[in-house]
Amino acid sequence: MCSARSLSISRSIARACADAVKQAGVVCMIGFQRRFDPTFSALKARIEAGEIGEPEMLIVTSRDPGAPPVEYIKHSGGIFKDMLIHDFDIFRWILDDEADTLHATGSCLSDPAIADAGDIDSTAVTIRTKRGRLCQINTSRRAAYGYDQRFELLGSLGMLQAGNVRPTEVTAYSKTAVSNDVPEAFFLERYRAAYALEIAHFFDVVNTGKPVRTTVADGLKALELADAATRSWNEKRIVKLGENA
């Protein structure tokens, strides 16, 4: 099983890896663990059941509690590849659609050293799909209150929201406030159930020969979106998917 970025941060190398996997005829699953998250999976099932009609607009919020070391950022391929790669996969999975155009912008707001390394820490991405649907993704490397992972989907008949996971679901009521736990501290806690389900699925695939739910093609598609976002940010323009592929 490959992590979300382990094929490569280069699409040409990633394509070569995909070809090698195909020729070898081995099982290869990309580690997009968010597809296995119980809350996200439940929302996806309700979309497929037609609960909110035709999906129209997806809004994704994805914020880390803090940035990784600058030495990592220097070699990570940039925020669109090392962080938003998961959000690009969520976009494709939830909407069951492909991007037609993409616009990305960003700033460095938390640490000047990140800018010195040639990267940004805050982004806003707008995608228009081939079916005309819209997706907005906002991300930050700094959320003082914890690991913030949520999204909402507006449809023709209503809306579905997937909220944060908290350490407990206890709510405290007083004369001055109503309070809950802040979100989980980091991705290992947030996605503990997703990782377990993902690994169980992989072993089931190995044992039964079933197809994997997150394929090499999914990894390549997410990397294509990350490249388009990087190009859009660098060139300050809307990018049409497929150009200069």
Using CA atoms in the order 37, 139, 165, 3, what is the torsion angle rounded to 10 degrees? 30
pLDDT for 143 equals 97
pLDDT for 6 equals 54
Q: Per residue of the chain (245 residues), what is the pLDDT tens digit?
A: 555 555 667 777 888 888 888 889 888 999 999 999 999 999 999 999 999 999 999 999 999 999 999 999 999 999 999 999 999 999 999 999 999 999 999 999 999 999 999 999 999 999 999 999 999 999 999 999 999 999 999 999 999 999 999 999 999 999 999 999 999 999 999 999 999 999 999 999 999 999 999 999 999 999 999 999 999 999 999 999 988 65
Q: Which of 225, 207, 201, 226 is nearest to 29 (CA)?
A: 201
* Domain 39-191+221-240 indexed as CATH 3.30.360.10: yes
pLDDT for 235 equals 97
pLDDT for 7 equals 66
pLDDT for 2 equals 55
DSSP codes, the chain: -EETTSS-SSHHHHHHHHHHHHHHT----EE-GGGG-HHHHHHHHHHHTTTT-SEEEEEEEEE-SSPPPHHHHTTS--HHHHTTHHHHHHHHHHHT--EEEEEEEEE--S-HHHHHTT--SEEEEEEEETTS-EEEEEEES--TTS-EEEEEEEETTEEEEE----S---EEE-SS-EEEPPPPSSHHHHTHHHHHHHHHHHHHHHHH-PPPSS-HHHHHHHHHHHHHHHHHHHHTS-EETTTT-
Entry pTM: 0.93
Cα–Cα distance for residue pair 243/245, rounded to 1 Å: 5
